[in-house]
Amino acid sequence: MDKKEQSRPVSLRQVQVTDAFWKKEMELVRKEVIPYQWEALNDRLPDAEPSFSMRNFKIAGKITEEKRKQGDAYKEVKWPLIFQPLPEDMDHLEDRFYGCLFQDSDFSKWIEAVGYSLTQQADPELEKTADEAIDIVCAAQQDNGYLDTYYIINDQSMIFTNLRDNHELYCFGHLTEGAVAYYQATGKDKLLKAAEKYADFVASRFGEEEGKLKGYPGHEIAEMALVRLYEVTGEDKYLNLSRFFVDQRGTRPYYYDTEHPEAVKKGHEDEQRYSYNQAHLPVREQDEAVGHAVRAVYLYSGMADVARLTGDEALLEACEKLWDNITQKKMYITGGIGATHMGEAFSFNYDLPNDTAYAETCASIGLVFFARRMLEIKASSKYADVMEKALYNGILSGMALDGKSFFYVNPLESLPEACHKDERKFHVKPVRQKWFGCACCPPNLARLLSSIASYAYTEAEDALYVHLYMGSVLEKDCGGKKLDIRISSDFPWDGKVMAEINAEEPVACRLAFRIPGWCSSYTLNGQKGLEEGETVTADGETRQVKDGYLIIDRVWNGGEKLELDFPMEVRLMQADARVREDIGKAAVTRGPIVYCMEEADNGKNLQLYSLAEDPEPQAVQEEKIGQRMVTITTKGKKLVPQAEEDGELYREYKKPVYEDVLLQWIPYYAWANRGEGEMQVFIKTNR
Amino acid sequence: MDKKEQSRPVSLRQVQVTDAFWKKEMELVRKEVIPYQWEALNDRLPDAEPSFSMRNFKIAGKITEEKRKQGDAYKEVKWPLIFQPLPEDMDHLEDRFYGCLFQDSDFSKWIEAVGYSLTQQADPELEKTADEAIDIVCAAQQDNGYLDTYYIINDQSMIFTNLRDNHELYCFGHLTEGAVAYYQATGKDKLLKAAEKYADFVASRFGEEEGKLKGYPGHEIAEMALVRLYEVTGEDKYLNLSRFFVDQRGTRPYYYDTEHPEAVKKGHEDEQRYSYNQAHLPVREQDEAVGHAVRAVYLYSGMADVARLTGDEALLEACEKLWDNITQKKMYITGGIGATHMGEAFSFNYDLPNDTAYAETCASIGLVFFARRMLEIKASSKYADVMEKALYNGILSGMALDGKSFFYVNPLESLPEACHKDERKFHVKPVRQKWFGCACCPPNLARLLSSIASYAYTEAEDALYVHLYMGSVLEKDCGGKKLDIRISSDFPWDGKVMAEINAEEPVACRLAFRIPGWCSSYTLNGQKGLEEGETVTADGETRQVKDGYLIIDRVWNGGEKLELDFPMEVRLMQADARVREDIGKAAVTRGPIVYCMEEADNGKNLQLYSLAEDPEPQAVQEEKIGQRMVTITTKGKKLVPQAEEDGELYREYKKPVYEDVLLQWIPYYAWANRGEGEMQVFIKTNR
């Protein structure tokens, strides 16, 4: 690791996203999702399952206050520790915990999204609501710092006794991330102080020392959250705790065995367990992404953070192997990960079925977290290519174009009849849902989209890296001097990017622009761009291309304009031949966008279609489904079935007869916005 | 229905199967499976899960004796009614029921197979063992006739309280079938009398009358079993009870709701339930095969029996619709049925995935039962074509070539890695298993194969129908006069069939020979055979083809020879275009045999292969996997992957490059006899 290659995400306070495409998404979050989520948190949505999140905090607050008042006289009322306590009668609620046992995180993800959103758009009313919510949450905090309502309400004597399943450190992690984000956005530190106090309590209970627990989170996130806490407070103890969790994970004897002796089958003690939690091996020995996909990428994100801050080469090497395993053997072309619904997990290498794909929205979001952290260690365009792919495809597909409904699961092929009738596909919904009982994806989308600029841009003291292209206005401080950078872009529809640099005094700064992997050749100010490994120095400016970035070093005087053009041609893509489901098929892409066919445009029975030998793709800019987008038409062939009517199920093979058709392709992220219908990403080529 | 078109299966005592192919299978059953099964029934197999079947009967026998001795003083010891009680320690067994709650049927299926087997090969030792087993079983019978050890041992007060789940009438049905078979084979009626007594008890508890239960079997089979009992005893009451069960099924209010009120969700009372048990609608209103596949085809078999005996046209019409739905929309090319492992059930129309196919061996066996019963009502070759297809493919594949291991599930595509690593495919085993804890398939294979002649031949008073071709020696009684018929056949490898008819005096008889659907044109004694609808009368003989049967009416003097030739050409087959998984693919067949590719002959990565445009199939008679069989080679193409080494998972589409290869095909039933390896039935055509 070379510290000179490292960078950090820009502060959202120094960048305003002006981009038409991403601003629209951010506004959907700000105007639809955040308010809707607040209503959900307060159980005010008539047509969605109640969250009970704020209610739990209020009840916990009362308990904490009682406990404080009564001191030794306090007698705790206990409730059973079940996964999702629900009221029998919504009109008669008791003073107890309701909802999924990790429901505290609903609030935390919301406050995080609110924080980010406030950096882009001031909103005093929203901020007031947020502050009040923070008051409620902080009132629930116990004097020792503990702040998980599930245990505060149900049984305080049982805290940290089921790390594998009961999500305490998960909720702690989300709370910390939310607290840091809100503080960084508003300067208000009430929640941050609560998070620190909670972290100190966690640190007092976990560690190598005698009497402390050598456990680690069953659902990872605390690792990356503690790093954020470290970076905003400067306190080593938080980095140390994160590293402790990373180092302990998967060591023998297995910590979770002590919590769950029944998991150990007689005669099978030496077998690996807990791959679902990526706790089957010490992390530095892991080279394959396994288990629950969201947990996995959250862990790998934390590992990358710790590696960067501690210079741990072995840890970084593990990150790189895990990254390669995911992106080379376990990732959908849409950036979706986690092929199987069983365990919402990674499947085995190259097992990427299109119709049963799980590809949880949250998992792709976690992949973006992981990608950005690898970029922070070293800007290499392969990470940003994946980040971009996931953002524009498998993640955006998680939200409807109107921001009012969501997909948990993002298949690459959908047959509504199967969604309704085939229990093996019940996890695949044909249309998005308004909310879910245990609703992890919408809030995750909200916090990611609201902070999108911190994925687009990272910086070092005297360098700015541009990983994603979106219209923005940035302030870049280079060694005390300021650069104002205005970027215009029409991604994902057009590849032209304009960067205008302004300065009040000459500023030496490095600007690095990612060259998208999908672009075969680009231009800079009309001239053919440099290629990997080339360097040119002229007129006091050095340009080079390294690891997929066009790097420009110079002193900026102000008034410079950089016009990049990354031409977006329609590209047909194919999968590695070891992906059995994609043999003989191709996918249609253009720039960062992956396309799909829908029944609404092409009729039923999409399986009858194949690409013409020369598909002659045409990209068309148009208004469709209420959006400005580039759609694609290709020439295709439609199989003429031997007989339409009922009759023989199997008959003598005859050379197939096709009719010529024109196929209509829309961006994958825009699918399922016109009711139920078939959808397909990969199409047969019959070649 | 026309009584003149009806026929009954020949008695096994009047036919000896001499056929090389089927005799070999029957000998495997006789020498391997039946003895092995007896060891299993007595828990003497070291490397298989114990059955506890005979043990349960012995314990029940003790209880029955005690109850009889003690009279009113008898105090029952009760045990919990769980699905599969198992001992904690095999060295310390208690005097209680162990094993699956339907384990009694293990014995019954064994005794049935023994009965059939004895008709083909006398075996005094086996018969003695069988008689002793029957003694043990009959000793368990309660004085009132009840004979289900699960309840006799666990809680006699709870009999018939959970018809939906607890398999009493299922076990009763199998016991009855076994008893009838043994009686018909040996003339010994001890078990038959026990079955009658049990049936009388069941009839005393179930019926329309006040105070009787209006229930019906949760797992169907009693319907067809009672018909067999009726036909061997002549007692109407058994037919009436069968009809009662058929008529009650699926009527409203649902009987199972009274047993299981918790199954009725508030607000959902009017919705259909119990499709798993085909009890969602009255049977005459059912036109789609749904639910658990074995239950379904056992029901439809019983329905056909009752329809035939009662002349019930509405019931027959339902059978025909259900037959059509299965064979036109829900059946694999191998005769496998039940596409989904979820519920071991039928999926929706045309949903026939190859790799996750359930296609339970027992379900295909049940399809054969159903087919034969439809033939009994009217000989129409479409029924026999399916029967033949299932027998030679999806059923035979259920048993290893050495008779020592079995498949429960019969996929049309297998990837061992997925079997081991993908939980969604854990029901698919890459190799056959020696025995199963709840072992329904091996005994079902045993009873079917041992009685194969009763599927090949049915007869009316003056007619013999030949549905399947296998070397046999038959005695046919035609109105008191005898015909001796010797059939030689080399099916499934060669289509020539020789029938030699001998008689001591002139006998007027109709002989009907099925013309296989896979045969485009046939010859009789060297002359082109008649086609559907044609009739020729000459020399006192009338020949006609009706419903796919060549029917010859004449007076036989003895010495006549009929040489039929049904040429077996290699035929490529395709599925209806609505079967999405088979689009752009073809299957290789020859005569009744469906072929497959295995890794052992073609290497790994079968997904890289496609058929050449002109496959030039060659059929080769050879010795392979220790068997005489016809294998097939076709020209094929193998995709040359763009890059073998790790690297890009998705890359720019390039016109694929192929190398020419010769593909090796073996009969599907012979797959998985050479260790683990990939297998595929359908192959891409790239056309």
Residue A543 has pLDDT above 70, yes or no: yes
Of B340, B580, B649, which has the smallest distance from its Cβ to A424's Cβ? B340
Whether residue B422 lies within 8 A of chain A, CB to CB, comes out as: yes
* Residue at B192 is within a domain: yes
Let me know whether B245 and B376 are in one domain. Answer: yes
Let me know whether A98 and A233 are in one domain. Answer: yes
AA identity, residue B322? L
pLDDT at position B399 is 95
Q: Which residues pair with A597 in a beta bridge?
A: A680
Tokens of B378: 């009217």
* Residue at A87 is within a domain: no
- Those residues whose C-beta lies under 8 Å from the C-beta of residue A38, and which sit 6 or more positions away, are A110, A129
Whether residue A95 lies within 8 A of chain B, CB to CB, comes out as: no
* CA A419 – CA B677 distance, rounded (Å): 32
Element of type H or E holding B459: strand B457-460
* Residue at A53 is within a domain: yes
Let me know whether A49 and A157 are in one domain. Answer: yes
pLDDT at position B437 is 62
pLDDT bucket at A437, cuts 50 / 70 / 90: low
B615: chain A residues, CB-CB within 8 Å = none
Let me know whether A71 and A178 are in one domain. Answer: yes
Residue A119 sits in a domain whose CATH number is 1.50.10
For A301-330, how does the pLDDT look when each residue is reduced to its tens digit (9 = 90+)? 999 999 999 999 999 999 999 999 999 999
Residue at a domain's end among A509, A531, A565:
A565
Whether residue A324 lies within 8 A of chain B, CB to CB, comes out as: yes
Nearest residue of chain B to residue A520 (CA atoms):
B652
Element of type H or E holding A450: helix A441-450
pLDDT at position A588 is 98
Give catalytic status of residue A440 as yes or no. yes
For residues A327-352, average pLDDT: 95
* CA A377 – CA A307 distance, rounded (Å): 9
Let me know whether B610 and B554 are in one domain. Answer: no
B584: chain A residues, CB-CB within 8 Å = 584, 610, 656, 684, 686
pLDDT at position B419 is 81
* CA A10 – CA B61 distance, rounded (Å): 82
Residue at a domain's end among B565, B594, B611:
B565
A574/B424 touch (CB, cutoff 8 Å), yes or no = no
AA identity, residue A491? F
Nearest residue of chain A to residue B685 (CA atoms):
A686
In this predicted model, which residue has the larger pLDDT, B333 or A48? Answer: B333
Let me know whether A428 and A323 are in one domain. Answer: yes
* Residue at A651 is within a domain: yes
Let me know whether B406 and B553 are in one domain. Answer: no
SS3 B431: coil
pLDDT at position A645 is 61
Shortest Cα distance, chain A CAs vs residue B273, angstroms: 14
* CA A296 – CA A358 distance, rounded (Å): 15
Whether residue B328 lies within 8 A of chain A, CB to CB, comes out as: yes
* Residue at A89 is within a domain: no
* CA A371 – CA B251 distance, rounded (Å): 59
Residue A89 has pLDDT above 70, yes or no: yes
Q: Which residues of chain B have pLDDT under 50?
A: none
Would you say B621 and B493 are in contact if contact means Cβ atoms under 8 Å apart?
yes
Whole-number average pLDDT of chain A: 95
B367: chain A residues, CB-CB within 8 Å = none
Q: Which residue has the tokens 């990611």?
A: A448
A421/B651 touch (CB, cutoff 8 Å), yes or no = no
Whole-angstrom CA distances from B591 to B419, B516, B619 are 31, 8, 11
Residues 555-574 of chain B with CB under 8 A from chain A are 571-574
Residue of A427, A367, A361 whose CA lies nearest to A397 = A361
The boundaries of the domain holding residue B658 are: 570-684
Nearest residue of chain A to residue B576 (CA atoms):
A649
Let me know whether B376 and B520 are in one domain. Answer: no
Of B324, B340, B653, which has the smallest distance from its Cβ to A573's Cβ? B653
Let me know whether A420 and A475 are in one domain. Answer: no
pLDDT at position A644 is 61
Shortest Cα distance, chain A CAs vs residue B686, angstroms: 4
Residue of B408, B411, B323, B401 whose CA lies nearest to B369 = B323
Would you say B473 and B18 are in contact if contact means Cβ atoms under 8 Å apart?
yes
Q: Dihedral of the CA atoms A340, A341, A346, A347 (nearest 10)?
A: -30
Of B342, B577, B687, which has the smallest distance from its Cβ to A655's Cβ? B687
Catalytically annotated residues of B: 344, 440
For A257-272, how does the pLDDT look when each residue is reduced to its tens digit (9 = 90+)? 999 998 888 888 889 9
Residue at a domain's end among B541, B565, B589:
B565
Nearest residue of chain B to residue A582 (CA atoms):
B607
pLDDT at position B425 is 72
Would you say B401 and B628 are in contact if contact means Cβ atoms under 8 Å apart?
no
Q: Which residue has the tokens 């029938």?
A: B499
Let me know whether B540 and B597 are in one domain. Answer: no
* Residue at B87 is within a domain: no
For B627-676, how does the pLDDT look when each residue is reduced to its tens digit (9 = 90+)? 999 999 999 999 998 766 668 899 999 999 999 999 999 999 999 999 99
Residue ranges of the alpha helices (H) in A206-292? 222-233, 236-248, 255-259
Nearest residue of chain A to residue B656 (CA atoms):
A687
Q: Looking at the 3D structure of chain B, how many domains does it have?
A: 3
* Residue at B86 is within a domain: no
The size of the A-B interface in CB pairs under 8 A is 157
B605/A685 touch (CB, cutoff 8 Å), yes or no = no
Whether residue B89 lies within 8 A of chain A, CB to CB, comes out as: no
CA torsion sign for B255, B258, B264, B266 is: positive
* Residue at A88 is within a domain: no
- On the question of a cis peptide bond just before residue A492, with omega within 30 degrees of 0, the verdict is yes
pLDDT at position A646 is 60
- On the question of a cis peptide bond just before residue A253, with omega within 30 degrees of 0, the verdict is yes
Let me know whether A440 and A532 are in one domain. Answer: no
Residue of B59, B218, B231, B58 whose CA lies nearest to B132 = B58
Best mutation target, A358, A650, A679, to test chain B (most B CBs within 10 A): A650
Let me know whether A446 and A556 are in one domain. Answer: no
